[in-house]
Amino acid sequence: MPVPDPKTFARMLQTAQENDYALASINVTSTNTLNAALAAFAESKTDGIIQFSTGGGEHASGPAKDMALGAIALAEYTHRIAAELPIYIALTTDHCVPAKVDKFLRPLIAESKKRVDAGNAPLFNGHMFDGSELPMKENMDISKELLSQMAPLGIVLEVEAGVVGGEEDGIDNTGAEHSKLYTTPEDMVYVYECLKDIGPFTLAATFGNVHGVYKPGNVKLNPKILRDGQAAVVAKYGDAAKLNLVFHGGSGSLIEEIHETLDYGVVKMNVDTDCQYWFTRAIAGHMFENYEGVLRVDGEMGDKKVYDPRSYTKKGENSMKKRVLQAAEELRSLGKSIYV
């Protein structure tokens, strides 16, 4: 199926919300990592999300070194390939801090507008603005301005209230104040009040989650923060106001903690670090196992079959595919698709 249109993406999120599961959102940086995620979703008949960060977009653009151009190129590739698959693959972008809005988000919104003006669906289903480094009012002021541009195009805005700890893709919150790692119920109500009349949005509320890789149990989460925030929103505005929440920094989380967040309204969980590892782990294994073949040692010619990049990147794709399937299983979305 094609990348979902706005109404279909809204239905994907709503179905996840109503059935207490989340869509795995996989960060990719190349056609190889993108193919790994697509294969996992297609073979298991699971709806999912492909996501690009600013750094991933810049990497994909090669010598152009243009983060927006790289994201557009991978998104267009996804539209082509996804059209041949029996599931829905949505497209979003990851953390975009205020300093990168003009060179990342605005060009992507403009690209979708060109498509919509021509009678087509937008290129992307959603974009994230990460204004968590700003005071809350300033964060929401910029969020409102961006959503007012995105909503008419059918694009969902993801915002962040609170700070996800750790470091990922150039965003370093390792020194963040402890209190900022936990979104308050008042924060969640404020976000809802600021954006509810403009258009569709999702919220990355923080509850001790941390970017990076950690052993299970080392990250101290408090998912009940999500429960309390949802309760505050619903108490003031009714059941229809329940927020679609996003889980960032899931590496090292216990399975019971992940499941608890699903019960509180998480409909999307980002998966990046572990996928990077499993892609690279398989390639490292290939190199160790075929050392004399991948190198021309002592004047020998090596073995073209094992230094052909297709031989080891395919192993990387297959390995990463397994991690994507694990993510979907942990999020209770494995085998679930609204495509009929």
Collect all residues with Cβ–Cβ distance below 8 Å to 298 and sequence separation of at least 6.
Answer: none
Q: Domain residues of the chain, as ranges?
A: 6-286+321-330
Q: What is the DSSP letter of 251?
A: T
Give the C-alpha distances (Å, rounded to integers) separating 22 from 13, 111, 152, 155, 267: 8, 28, 26, 19, 4
Which two structure tokens, joined as six digits, stand for 121?
């669906």
What topology is assigned to 6-286+321-330 in CATH?
TIM Barrel (3.20.20)
Which of 21, 53, 89, 43 has its CA nearest to residue 269? 21
Per-residue pLDDT at 180? 62
- For residues 327 and 262, the answer to whether their CB atoms sit within 8 Å is no
pLDDT score for 219: 54
CB 315 within 8 A of CB 286: yes
Which residue in 66, 94, 130, 272 is the catalytic one? 94
In this prediction, residue 297 carries a pLDDT of 86
Q: 28: closest CA among 279, 225, 208, 198? A: 279
**Regions of the chain with pLDDT less than 70:** 163-180, 209-219, 251-252
In terms of Cα–Cα distance, which of 210, 206, 205 is closest to 251?
Answer: 210
Q: Give the predicted TM-score (pTM) of the model.
A: 0.92
Token pair of 118, please? 């021509």
Verify whether residue 94 is a known catalytic residue.
Answer: yes
Closest CA to 48 of 74, 95, 82: 82
